[in-house]
A and B are shown apart, each in its own frame.
Chain A
Amino acid sequence: MKESVLFWPVHLKGRTLYILDETKIPQRIVYLKVRHYHQAIDAVVMMKTRAFGQFLTVCYTFMLEMQKADGLSAGAQMRLLERVAAAFNRSRPTFPFEEVTGMVLGVARKVSGSPRFRQDFISAMNGFLEQGIRQKRYQRAQEAAALIKDGATVLTHCNVSGELPLVAEFCRKAKKKVRFLATETRPYFQGARLTAWELKREGFDVILIPDNAAAKVMSDGDVDCVLVGSDRSAANGDFANKIGTYQIALLARHFGIPFYVLVQSSDKLSSGREIPIEVRRDEEILCFAGRKLAPEGTAAFYPGFDVVPHQWVTKHIAIRPS
């Protein structure tokens, strides 16, 4: 199946990591060239990549640093990986960096006794990403597609890292017609710039709506189900996603519309109450492309994420840890 560029937005080639700069889409498809873990962390902090792209950035950055560490002893290589983990863990609060870096360090510790530690680590990580993640995302997309009825309109928010075109493709293969309503997802417009763009590019029916039209389309009977992604999950099924998801879940519950979420199961946090919410700078709402939109003296409040309670979710469609 053809994958959206957003499905696997980070690639490691030799000693260079290529991170898709999602802020440049749809104007240009540009990859940032990263040769040191500090640059990878900058890309994360500046939201050049997000969601699944952050996950891949973490995994590949460890592999990048190990590619370059051929002159170091096994002990020094392990200490390097621990430094990289600590740096990612400090980068942004809501995404579960500690969970991901902990998992990668676990892989490293498993092979750390090998005389070919560096090569075995890289090989284990490649296997994990290809078999453990890529294939499971395909399975998850197929499972989501099975929930969508022929002729359905699916409301989505933000961007599910290239997985929505895959869901649509599975629907197409099953000869089911599906239409998407994508909310624009202010302030970064991931719905307008990424989701609507990638669905349109792959030939699927998509209509862009303002975030404030979600209740209107639901009350008019124009939405058959909601399908969103998630940035972090808790053991009880609560999940965090881009700001605005909570609002949509509340509306879906009110209007009796099924609400589906693509998640990565996790038991590190017992409930969504423990997920820290990142509050970002006022300027990210008040400016666009460096130009000020609001009058002087205006403040803003920008929580980057919100948490949806598990009771409002009709079905969690999960990638489960191996």
Chain B
Amino acid sequence: MLIKEQIPLIFGVPQEDFYAQLKAKKIFVAELRPALEGMKDVAKELIGRGVKPVVICDNMMAFCMERKLVSAVHIFAQGRKNDVALCRTGSLIAALCAHTHRIPVVLHEGAMPREAKGADLLKIGGMKVTSSKIKTYVPLLEEVPMSLVGRTQGQDPGA
């Protein structure tokens, strides 16, 4: 679908308080490879609440920001230590790209990513994508510097 207005972008799996405060009627949802929790779980939750999920692949976030289609970026932390938040892998991309494009980054408490095996990257929706002989690396979490975050919302994950 063509997107012409600015809408928020979610990278991660929110918890109930995030959905409860949601005002937007349409939201970019990063698909979250390899388990596709964004495309499946987050999209389902949004649809149930009358919000239209617009799924993008994880590699499309910067494009949407550069084209001024993103109003705010929401990422989700599993914990916080000193000046970094521990988030699902890909959150650093979302935060850095948002920072570059001067888009506010909001940090929420989030659900732990589904544990992914390397072999999960060779499939999508249970279907084989490529040769099983290929080596893979699927890191679960990464650190996002708090300097990239505009504000935190909900229960402070590090507090």
Contacts and interface: CB of A to CB of B under 8 A. Distances in A.
A246 B142 contact: no
Contacts of A189: 124, 129-130
Contact of B59 (A211, A217, A286, A295): A211
Interface stretch (A104-112, A169-177, A190-198): A190-198
Given A192-B121, A288-B125, A213 B59 contact: no
B66 interface: yes
Contacts of A196: 130-131, 134
Interface in B113-139: 121-122, 124-125, 127-131, 133-139
Interface residues on A, range: 35 or more
A211 to B, nearest CB: 4
Interface string B24-49: 00001011111010011001100100
Contact of A212 (B1, B93, B96, B129): B93
A152 interface: no
B133 A200 contact: yes
Contacts of A214: 93
Interface stretch (A30-38, A79-87, A128-136, A296-304): A296-304
A247 B124 CA distance: 22
Interface stretch (B15-23, B50-58, B102-110, B149-157): B50-58
A298 B53 contact: yes
A232 to B, nearest CB: 15
Contact of B56 (A26, A215, A251, A285): A285
A200 B129 CA distance: 15
B139 A246 contact: no
A210 B135 contact: no
Main secondary structure, interface of B, reads mixed
A214 to B, nearest CB: 6
Nearest to A209: B137
Contact of B57 (A187, A206, A213, A295): A187
B2 interface: yes
Residue with the greatest number of chain A CB neighbours at <10 A, chosen from B58, B64, B127, B142: B58
Contacts of A215: 90, 92-93, 96, 142
Give the interface residue-count category, chain B: 35 or more
A301 B64 contact: yes
A186 interface: yes
A294 interface: yes
A299 B89 contact: no
Interface string A196-210: 110010000011111
Given A212-B58, A301-B3, A197 B43 contact: no
B125 A291 contact: yes
Contacts of A157: 59
Given A216-B89, A244-B59, A293 B124 contact: yes
A297 B133 CA distance: 36
Contact of B47 (A183, A243, A297): A297
A289 B123 CA distance: 12
A279 interface: yes
Contacts of B135: 206-208
Contact of B89 (A186, A200, A212): A212
Nearest to B60: A243
B131 A247 contact: no
Contacts of B67: 303
B73 interface: no
B39 A294 contact: yes
A297 B43 CA distance: 9
B39 A286 contact: yes
A299 to B, nearest CB: 5
B110 to A, nearest CB: 15
A215 B125 CA distance: 25
Given A247-B97, A299-B54, A301-B3, A293 B39 contact: yes
Given A212-B30, A215-B92, A298-B55, 19 more contacts: A26-B130, A186-B31, A196-B131, A211-B90, A212-B33, A215-B142, A217-B139, A254-B96, A282-B1, A285-B57, A293-B36, A297-B43, A298-B43, A298-B53, A299-B54, A300-B54, A301-B54, A302-B60, A306-B66
Interface of B: 1-3, 28, 30-34, 36, 39-40, 43-44, 47, 52-64, 66-67, 89-90, 92-93, 96-97, 100, 121-122, 124-125, 127-131, 133-139, 142-143
